[in-house]
A and B are shown apart, each in its own frame.
Chain A
Amino acid sequence: MQPNNSTSKRAEFWTGVRDELPLLLGVTPFGLVFGVLGLASGLSPLQTILLSSILFGGASQVVFAQMWGGGVPLPIIGASISIVNSRHILYGASMAPYLRSLPLRWRVPLAYLLTDEAYAVSIKRFRDGQPSQEKHYHLLGTGLTLWVCWQLSTIVGVVFGATIPESWSLGFALPLTFIALVAPAIRKRADLVACVTAGVLSIAGQSLPWKSWIILAALGGIAAGWLVHLAAKPKPQDDNGSGA
């Protein structure tokens, strides 16, 4: 009755690899740009490259490099990284029902590989309703594909970054990457409020010490978006109480 077990594992894994490939078009330039940015922030080539495997998260690596380059005290760097990363708790929560019964030797590497791009692709497979005991191989496939691409593009960025002249403004590719991620994500009014609030606070807070405007703008944007979301949400009593 059951399909051959190792065949379905392999099939899941390779489906994950294949599903991830289109996203590499966006990840590769980001990795290249991070390689360039790392060097520009005063990290050594080795530190820049290893940051991509130790942190393995584009936005947190950017914040790390900017803050390290700006001589920010360590606790502020840690706090900023934690805020940037807190979105992963959300991804973990939505994947947990599918992965929590796995042994630790699976959960630890899968958690390490859990990035925005792997999550976005694998959660669709997890939720598509086709029963399989081997769905975690899909996340292994998406996660490893992204990992390899991220490491390689960082290395290429570090190797060639030093030779690219400043006048090319290649550093501008970084905000452009984030624009490509944020602009299509703004769907509701609460999203827009979060975006505008974070933007205004990021400029208003420029005079704060230790680049702590990142924390101010991020927390302010989250709070503003959340409040608007809360106000827009229909109250539970309205849903079922009105007909009585």
Chain B
Amino acid sequence: MIWWLMIGCGMLTFAARFVMFSDISPKRLPSWLEDALGFVPIAVLTAIIVPAVLISPDNEVNFVGNSHLLAAIVAIAAALFTRSVLVTICVGLTTLWGLEWLLF
């Protein structure tokens, strides 16, 4: 079943990429849709980031003493300053390891 699901999701992905290249689709998107789709990356990625940072393995929302949260804040600063994925990952992971080693 998983293979069919993979192929189905692959077709959904392809459809989103191809739809505006087809002969029958309108030449332009309506401007409201264009505006709305512009917010998809920020909304989707944030929805994945926040639970991954705040929710502990035992399914509790964690603010205090959460080393992942502190590392994420440092990583946000690194991302804003360097705009580099590689540097952000390195800074974030190093901070996390440092915190876990020092404090927790």
B30 to chain A, nearest CB (A): 10
- A side interface size, CB within 8 A: 89
Do the beta carbons of A203 and B54 come within 8 Å of each other? yes
In the bound complex, what is the Cα–Cα distance between A183 and B82 (angstroms)? 11
Q: Is the beta-carbon distance between B16 and A93 smaller than 8 angstroms?
A: no
Determine if A90 and B89 form an interchain contact, defined as CB atoms under 8 angstroms apart: no
- Is A181's CB under 8 angstroms from B41's CB? yes
Chain B residues positioned under 8 Å from A183 (CB to CB) = 76, 79-80
Q: How many A-B residue pairs have CB under 8 A?
A: 259
The answer on a CB contact under 8 Å between A88 and B47 is no
The verdict on A202 contacting B46 (CB below 8 Å), with A92-B18, A107-B18 known, is: yes
* Residue from A83, A96, A203 having most chain B Cβ neighbours under 10 A: A96
Which bracket fits the contact residues of B?
A: 35 or more
Contacting pair B6 A93 (CB below 8 A): no
A85-101 CB contacts (< 8 Å) to partner B: 85-93, 95-97, 99-100
Q: Which residue of A lies closest to B5 (CB)?
A: A74
Secondary structure class of chain A's binding surface, majority of residues: helix
Find out whether the CB atom of B40 lies under 8 angstroms from the CB atom of A179: no
Contact in complex: B79, A179 (CB < 8 Å)? yes
Instruction: Tell me whether A176 and B75 are in contact (CB under 8 A).
Output: yes
**A89-B19, A175-B53, A178-B45 known; A29-B38 Cβ under 8 A:** no
Binds B, one of A4-12, A123-131, A223-231: A223-231
* B46 in contact with A60 (CB, 8 Å): no
Q: Nearest Cβ in chain B — how far from A193, in angstroms?
A: 9
In the complex, the answer to whether B40 meets A87 with C-beta atoms within 8 Å is yes
Q: Is the CB of B20 within 8 A of A225?
A: no
Q: Which residues of B40-63 have CB atoms within 8 Å of chain A's CB atoms? A: 40-55, 59, 61
18 CB-based A-B contacts, threshold 8 Å: A26-B85, A47-B2, A59-B44, A81-B12, A87-B37, A112-B17, A169-B100, A173-B93, A175-B52, A183-B79, A191-B39, A191-B42, A203-B50, A217-B43, A221-B39, A221-B42, A222-B36, A226-B32
Q: Which residues of B contact A (CB under 8 A)?
A: 2-3, 5-10, 12-14, 16-23, 27-29, 32, 34-55, 59, 61, 68, 71-72, 75-76, 78-80, 83-89, 92-93, 96-97, 100
A residues whose Cβ falls under 8 Å from a Cβ of B: 25-27, 29-30, 43, 47, 50-51, 54-57, 59-60, 62-64, 68, 74, 77-78, 81-93, 95-97, 99-100, 107-108, 110-112, 114, 116, 168-170, 172-186, 190-191, 194-195, 197-199, 201-203, 206, 213-214, 217-223, 225-226, 229-230
